[in-house]
């Protein structure tokens, strides 16, 4: 078994196993796990006198005569019993080794999180925390509610809203496994999506994620009394102009 833990590119793991006649164990996983670059785990089956007892019992039980063809039947029974006992023994042995590998990964993850030595991991955690905060601070509607706000049928809200998403008319996020949409995108009086949303999504630079656009829309803006999201229904052109200035690269010279 070879396990490759946390590296600069994230967590990867590949596992393969082999059983050999020589019996030895990889007993230093916890110590090796301190090194967050590469861990090689050589899995072998641990043998001991405690394993002989169950094997002895199944063989003795299978040696009882079983009628006329006793020798042939007994040979077959012994063969079957040995296969069953070996499968059970190997299953328990490898399950124990896998538990060791899982424990080693837990050690590495805990060390990386506490020490914060991996810049990529630290940046990813910061992004995740920011995204969680933005979503928590934004009023959201689910698919059926979105259809109701738009005056559309709620018979199949997933398919209905999927068409809006495919048309790049609306920002969609996922919370607790459910599709949700920021409420500010909906013109409730007009029972439609604010037209400016489609334009903002279309103009979103390649390096901008939907979360970044959501963050920009929900932050107070100097050119407005509040946030761009709050101005979508009253000053859509002002929002679009402010967004163009935001994404326009600075000119030096």
The answer to whether the beta carbons of residues 203 and 244 sit under 8 Å apart is: yes
pTM (predicted TM-score)? 0.53
Residues of the chain with pLDDT under 50: 1-37, 39, 49, 253
For 100-154, write each residue's pLDDT tens digit. Answer: 777 676 666 666 555 556 788 888 888 888 888 899 999 999 999 999 999 999 9
Environment class of 99 (CB within 10 Å of its CB; exposed 0-12, middle 13-18, buried 19+):
exposed
Q: State both tokens at 130.
A: 């920011």
Nearest CA-CA partner of 197 in 184, 211, 209, 178: 184
């Amino acid at each position: 078994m070879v396990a490759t833990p946390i590296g600069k590119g994230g967590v990867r793991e590949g596992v393969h196993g082999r059983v050999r006649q020589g019996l030895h164990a990889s007993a230093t996983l916890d110590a090796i796990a301190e090194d967050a670059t590469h861990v090689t785990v050589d899995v072998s089956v641990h043998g001991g006198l405690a394993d002989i007892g169950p094997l002895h019992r199944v063989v003795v039980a299978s040696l009882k005569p079983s009628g006329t063809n006793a020798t042939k039947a007994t040979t077959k029974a012994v063969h079957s019993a040995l296969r069953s006992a070996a499968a059970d023994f190997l299953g328990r042995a490898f399950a124990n080794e896998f538990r060791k590998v899982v424990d080693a990964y837990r050690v590495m993850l805990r060390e990386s999180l506490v020490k914060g030595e991996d810049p990529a991991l630290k940046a990813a955690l910061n992004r995740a925390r920011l995204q969680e905060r933005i979503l928590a601070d934004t009023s959201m509607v689910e698919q059926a509610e979105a259809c109701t706000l738009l005056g559309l049928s709620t018979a199949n809200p997933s398919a209905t809203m999927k068409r809006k998403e495919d048309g790049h008319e609306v920002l969609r996020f996922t919370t607790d496994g459910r599709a949700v949409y920021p409420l500010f995108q909906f013109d409730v009086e007009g029972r439609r999506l604010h037209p400016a949303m489609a334009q903002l999504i279309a103009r979103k630079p390649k390096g901008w994620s939907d979360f970044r656009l959501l963050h920009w829309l929900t932050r107070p803006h100097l050119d407005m009394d509040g946030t761009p999201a709050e101005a979508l229904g009253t000053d859509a052109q002002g929002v679009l102009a402010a967004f163009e200035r935001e994404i326009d690269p600075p000119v030096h010279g």
